Structure 1
Amino acid sequence: MTPFSGPFTVAQARSAGLPQAKMHGSDYVRLFHGIYAPAGAIDLRVRCEAARLLLPDDAVATGLTALRLRGLDLGTDLPVTFVTRQSVRMRHGGINLRTVAELPRHRGWIAERSEACAFLLDSEPLVPAVTAVDRALHRGMVTRSDILAAPLTTRARRAFAHVAVGAHSPRESKLRLALTLAGLPRPETQGRIEADGKLVAQVDLLYRHFRVALEYEGGQHLTDPEQWQKDITRYADLVRLGFTVVRVTAERMRKPDEVVNEVFRGLVDHGYPGPAPRFNPSWWAAVG
């Protein structure tokens, strides 16, 4: 029987009489330098509890770590992200620690969702940060008003301007950002198209005025014959109504500039007077 039910330090192992050779066996797993846990289901909470053995007592989980702990289905467990008021340097791989003047509002050692979003928008690259906040909004974990009520830095406010309610998947968020960061207008999310008082389609992204509809095709669109037939009928109806339909897949997004240029051509065909998209190094760094 292991003397530990959760993460422990090497010093705690010695005090419990656990031989070092035993720690390195199949019954235990090393999570961080000097921190072990019984082998088994190692999830994010266990990793955070392990990290807390190395962190200041006031450390609070925030950013994507806090959102994942509260149920966000996006991102990876590592690195775990914490903040503290203490001036310390953390050199442990897999742990991000930032010193802040004020800790975010938190329950236990986990930041509130709104403040975790605010931290994310301030600290992470634009596309993954906005994508995660879009997802949190879609899942009903937080509202725009909640985020705006949290302390927002100038950088966070700029990033928040790119956030949208209604993005049904991270891929849709990334597609929208590829368009807007290249200088194209911001499309509607989940745009509803009606004719004769009846719903024809609800598309992922919509340029209503210029009659361009974008759909991100997931694998189910190709493997489900019934869904495939519905898609064909729906797209035919949209074309009949004068819409240009741009269908996007993960494979196509490997060359995002080509997708953006196709959307631009569709906009121009329907009277868009704006400039061509710009694919500068910052765009490629964000989207490519």
Structure 2
Amino acid sequence: MPPRARSLPPTLGDVFTTARAREMGVTSRRLRATDLEHAFRGVRIAPEGDAGTDGRPLATDRRKRARVIRRARALTAVMSPHAFFAGETAAAIYGAPLRHGFDPESDLIVAVHAPHRPPRRQGVRGIKVVPSLASIVEYLGMRVSSPASTWAMMPELGERALIQLGDFLVFVPRDDRGKPRPEHRLATMTQLHNAASIFRRRGRAELLRAFARVRVGSASPLETDYRLAAEDAGLPEPALDVEVRDRAGRLIGISDAAYVSQRVIVEIEGDHHRTDRDQWDRDIAKYAALAAEGWEVIRLTARHVRAYPPSGPELVRAALARRS
């Protein structure tokens, strides 16, 4: 059995430079140990705790995003002060929906403003951008292209993915009591539009076309996909992220979409609604309360929304006809 690796100083953290480690008395031999990941030259990543084996999509996406953030933090330790994360790397850092097949081990996208030179380092794809096309913010202790700039720098995603990303960025989070927290959203509609409209922006027409279909209130790509499918099917545009209250004014719940005049609610249910027992119990109580207040609830899954043709809009159309 190989000898157990000597413990590292607890104040060193899980991502550190070899120079700092040596200053704290860590030997070169310990820094070469196989339990430390040699992420980038001069940087080490300590072993990660048990990440779990949950294979559900949401859990998988969380692990992928956590991995990107971990690698980005490692690179930040040796990155030029002029550089910042951009593109898909920045989107992952913000917690945005990941495209199908996203690889968290792919090259990190690092940008600089002209006239600085883009970085050349293994595991990094360096790019150079005109300063007016990418503003920079600090997020999670890292320099990152602003949320709106990140969105506008990726016209190659295609219209649907741009709409999904735009919906994510402008969504207004709520606290555990259901109160909106607009100060915590990542971008505003105005910021997205301004970023897309910059003169000589690559893919400007594609971005503006996608922006025209971005809405505030879709909390997930599946909710965005329902909204787009319903729009394409000719249904009226629903209210999104709706607070539904009983006759006494008490909050029953936050519904994904509502056709208020017909008192029809659409709930878009990911797999966690089925597999999480607490969520399942909350859903049953919520739907009973909504029915008692005269609402009809249409529950849709990914199969109703993403099949071709999608059946969800027709189920909603029938409910609206019943309620007209």
User: Is the Cα contact below 8 Å between 2:218 and 2:240 reproduced in 1?
Assistant: yes
Q: Larger relative contact order (C-alpha < 8 A, sep ≥ 6)?
A: 1
The 3-state SS of whatever aligns with 2:219 is coil
Match of 1:246 among 293, 298, 316: 298
Q: For 1:20-59, what aligned pairs fall within 5 Å after superposition?
A: 23-26=32-35, 28-31=36-39, 34=41, 36-40=43-47, 44-51=68-75, 58-59=82-83
Structure 2 CA distance for partners of 1:226 and 1:212, relative to 1, 3 Å: closer
1:64-93 Cα offsets, whole Å, 9 max, x none, are 544554x54754893533323467696855
- Matching residue of 1:279: none
Does residue 1:188 correspond to 2:239, yes or no?
Answer: yes
1:97-143 Cα offsets, whole Å, 9 max, x none, are 433233512146322333223324x3434444433332232232221
Amino-acid identity (%): 21
Structure 2 CA distance for partners of 1:207 and 1:98, relative to 1, 3 Å: farther
The 3-state SS of whatever aligns with 1:164 is coil
Q: For 1:207-246, what aligned pairs fall within 5 Å after superposition?
A: 207=259, 213-217=265-269, 219-220=272-273, 223-224=277-278, 225=281, 227-235=283-291, 237-238=293-294, 245-246=297-298
The RMSD of aligned alpha carbons is 4.6
User: Is the Cα contact below 8 Å between 2:43 and 2:78 reproduced in 1?
Assistant: no
- Matching residue of 2:59: none
Q: For 1:257-268, what aligned pairs fall within 5 Å after superposition?
A: 257=308, 260-264=310-314, 266-267=316-317
- Matching residue of 1:141: 186
Q: Which AA in structure 1 matches 2:129?
A: V
Q: TM-score, normalised by structure 1?
A: 0.63
1:258-283 Cα offsets, whole Å, 9 max, x none, are 6x334235426756xxxxxxxxxxxx
Q: Which AA in structure 2 matches 1:267?
A: R
Q: CA deviation at 1:231?
A: 0.7
The 3-state SS of whatever aligns with 2:215 is coil
- Output the CA distance in 2 between the equivalents of 1:189 and 1:226: 20
- Output the CA distance in 2 between the equivalents of 1:178 and 1:39: 45
Aligned length: 256
Gaps of 5+ in 1: 272-288
- Matching residue of 1:81: 109
- Output the CA distance in 2 between the equivalents of 1:188 and 1:116: 27
- Output the CA distance in 1 between the equivalents of 2:28 and 2:47: 18
The 3-state SS of whatever aligns with 2:311 is helix
- Matching residue of 2:178: none
The 3-state SS of whatever aligns with 1:81 is strand
Gaps of 5+ in 2: 1-6, 49-65, 174-184, 198-203
Q: CA deviation at 1:158?
A: 1.7
Match of 1:203 among 255, 259, 262: 255
Q: CA deviation at 1:234?
A: 1.7
Structure 2 CA distance for partners of 1:261 and 1:73, relative to 1, 3 Å: closer
- Output the CA distance in 1 between the equivalents of 2:76 and 2:282: 50
User: Is the Cα contact below 8 Å between 1:7 and 1:49 reproduced in 2?
Assistant: no
Does residue 1:169 correspond to 2:220, yes or no?
Answer: yes
User: Is the Cα contact below 8 Å between 2:18 and 2:31 reproduced in 1?
Assistant: no
- Matching residue of 1:155: 206
The 3-state SS of whatever aligns with 2:152 is helix
The 3-state SS of whatever aligns with 1:154 is helix
The 3-state SS of whatever aligns with 1:141 is coil
The 3-state SS of whatever aligns with 1:150 is helix
1:158-204 Cα offsets, whole Å, 9 max, x none, are 22222111123343223323444667654331356789897988631
- Output the CA distance in 1 between the equivalents of 2:127 and 2:298: 42
- Output the CA distance in 2 between the equivalents of 1:25 and 1:166: 46
User: Is the Cα contact below 8 Å between 1:212 and 1:246 reproduced in 2?
Assistant: yes
